[in-house]
Amino acid sequence: MFRYLPEQASKIAPSVDWLHNWITDLSVLFTVAICGAMVYFAIRYRKRDGVDHETPRIEGSNFLEVVWTVVPTLISIWVAYYGIVIYQDMREGENEALVINAVGKQWIWEFQYENGKQTVGEFVVPVNRPVKVVLTATDVLHSFFVPAMRIKKDAVPGHYTSVMFTPVKTGTYHTFCTEYCGTNHSGMLAKLNVVSEAEYERWVNDRSDDLAKLSMTPAKLGAKLYSDKGCVACHSLNGTRLVGPSFLKLYQQDGRKLADGSEVKFDEKFSVEEYIRESILHPAAKVVESYPNGLMPAFDGQLSDGELKGLIAFIKEQDGSAPAQEEEPASEDMTAKLAAMSLEELGQFHYESKACNGCHSLDGSQIVGPSFKGLYGKKGELADGTEYVADDAYIQESIWDPNAKIVKGFQPNLMLQTYKDQLKERDIQGIIAYMKTLQ
Ligand code: CUA
């Protein structure tokens, strides 16, 4: 009864579920038996026709006492016994396990591998090898929970705890913080990627990203983040108004007006660097006049100090001295490369290079625009109350003329209206093909 458990992706999952189902079934059995008896007696011996029906008074039954003491005791011992056995199975292979350090902090999970590789909000493990996650926390209690692996353990500041699992299938699984730890507790998630041994080796030894970042000047790093993190989708460099304020001459703008009527003043207490930092980490703190609030995701916990300094340096560089960058015409190389791509690849390429990713998520979460996940073929309501079906024609129209149909709950005028010149029929077909893979 009640078999609603998530996918079994670890070696231990079937035994955990087996015991869990037994406990559930026994609980259901006793609940039904006890409450059933209660209801039965309440009806059977109710007061009828204004007359009490007295029940016989029974005192003491050694037989009954023994039965209802011994049976639950045996059941409890049985449950405890299998709990211990399964727990021991869980810790099997501890000595040869791959060790990953995980740190919980408000509100991210940070992972560190033995070779020094670090990731935030995502970790990768090889399939069919025991993994030991050593947990700790920097601020408050968090709890590390990967339902598909059937593991859950507290992360405690000042202590180390650990949890083990052996993944048996490749795939992507959700990791949660499952202990209330403050405002963004519900957003304290991480992605677990289980991959083949070879792919894992390649990934864990690939330090090129770290090295590249280390050798960049702050402004170069900022420029890379500007496109990687999707800032480019909403903040122009040439003064054009997109979803958010342009970065052009932003650094010099003392006294800009805010939505609440106040002005930003820079002085020794509140420097322009502090203003930019705050606006990246907590976008809602100061919203510039005439811009809507709540559209920018908060980057708190997603950028290191070095990365923040890089973005600040990059924004400082946009002082108008560099000629506004024209979009480079596609070189012959590029044209040939694009032509050689399959439709799905082409769609994914545009999704990333045209910065669709800044506003349209792939995992169903709502950013500025509707998520691409499950979008193709979806039916829904538009802002004007009519219905839409996300077929080929609808998607093409939405890219070429974004204001033609606005989905209920979203705002018009936020998406660029220049894609008609940039994306031709085959590009649109590519994006549609890519969307179809995101069901
Ligand atoms: Cu961390 Cu909830």
Residues 191 and 276 in one domain: no
In a domain, 195, yes or no: yes
| Per-residue pLDDT at 105 | 86
3-state secondary structure of 364: coil
User: Where in the sequence is the domain holding 84, given as residue range(s)?
Assistant: 13-47+62-90
Residues 312 and 337 in one domain: no
Whether residue 326 is predicted with pLDDT greater than 50 in this model: the reply is no
Task: Over range 275-298, report the average pLDDT.
Answer: 84
Residues 143 and 152: beta-carbon distance below 8 Å: yes
CA of 360 to the centre of ligand 1 (A): 26
Measured from the Cα of 181, ligand 1's closest atom is 2
Task: Over range 128-147, report the average pLDDT.
Answer: 94
Alpha-carbon distances of 71 from 66, 147, 316, rounded to whole Å: 8, 32, 74
185 CB under 6 A from ligand 1?
yes
What pLDDT digit, counting tens, does each position of 408-430 carry?
Answer: 888 777 787 778 877 888 888 88
142 CB under 6 A from ligand 1?
yes
Measured from the Cα of 104, ligand 1's closest atom is 1
Cα separation of the two ends of the chain: 30
In a domain, 2, yes or no: no
What pLDDT digit, counting tens, does each position of 163-205 carry?
Answer: 999 999 999 999 999 999 887 888 889 999 999 999 999 999 8
Among the listed residues 305, 295, 252, the one whose alpha carbon sits nearest the alpha carbon of residue 275: 252
For 220-289, the DSSP string reads HHHHHHHHHTTGGGT--SSS---SS---TTGGG-TT-BBTTS-B---SSSS-HHHHHHHHHH-TTSSPBT
CA of 180 to the centre of ligand 1 (A): 5
CATH at residue 368: 1.10.760.10
In a domain, 211, yes or no: no
Task: Over range 318-329, report the average pLDDT.
Answer: 61
Percentage of the chain modeled with pLDDT above 70: 96
Residues 292 and 385 in one domain: no
Strand intervals (E) in 64-150:
98-105, 108-112, 118-120, 122-126, 131-137, 142-146
In a domain, 23, yes or no: yes
Dihedral class, residue 364 (left if φ above 0, else alpha if ψ from -120 to 50, else beta): left
Residues 174 and 416: their CA atoms lie apart, in Å, by: 33
**What is the token pair recorded at 120?**
């935030």
| Per-residue pLDDT at 25 | 93
Residues 204 and 117: beta-carbon distance below 8 Å: yes
Measured from the Cα of 140, ligand 1's closest atom is 1
CA of 283 to the centre of ligand 1 (A): 21
Pick 116 or 142 by higher pLDDT.
142
**Contact residues for 236 (Cβ-Cβ < 8 A; gap 6+):** 242, 246, 247, 248
Pick 145 or 355 by higher pLDDT.
145
Pick 355 or 389 by higher pLDDT.
389
Task: Over range 316-326, report the average pLDDT.
Answer: 70
CA of 131 to the centre of ligand 1 (A): 22
Whether residue 97 is predicted with pLDDT greater than 60 in this model: the reply is yes
Residues 201 and 102 in one domain: yes
Residues 109 and 100: beta-carbon distance below 8 Å: no
Residues 347 and 285 in one domain: no
Query: Angle CA(253)–CA(256)–CA(262) in degrees, nearest 5?
Result: 150
| Per-residue pLDDT at 332 | 63
Residue 14, Cβ neighbours under 10 Å: how many? 11
What is the Cα 310 distance to its own chain's centre?
25
Residues 76 and 140 in one domain: no
Smallest CA separation from ligand 1 atom 1, residue: 142
- Helices and strands (H, E) in the chain, number of each type: 12, 12
- Range among 47-61, 176-190, 230-244, 327-341 with highest mean pLDDT value: 176-190
CA of 187 to the centre of ligand 1 (A): 8
| Per-residue pLDDT at 84 | 95
Residues 85 and 108 in one domain: no
Whether residue 393 is predicted with pLDDT greater than 70 in this model: the reply is yes
CATH at residue 156: 2.60.40.420
What pLDDT digit, counting tens, does each position of 27-82 carry?
Answer: 999 999 999 999 998 888 888 777 777 777 888 889 989 998 999 999 999 999 99
| Per-residue pLDDT at 327 | 46
In a domain, 327, yes or no: no
> What domain count does the chain have?
4
Residues 402 and 356 in one domain: yes
427 CB under 6 A from ligand 1?
no
pLDDT band at 323 (very low <50, low <70, confident <90, very high): low
181 CB under 6 A from ligand 1?
yes
Task: Over range 360-382, report the average pLDDT.
Answer: 83
| Per-residue pLDDT at 331 | 61
Task: Over range 342-348, report the average pLDDT.
Answer: 84
Residues 389 and 377: their CA atoms lie apart, in Å, by: 6
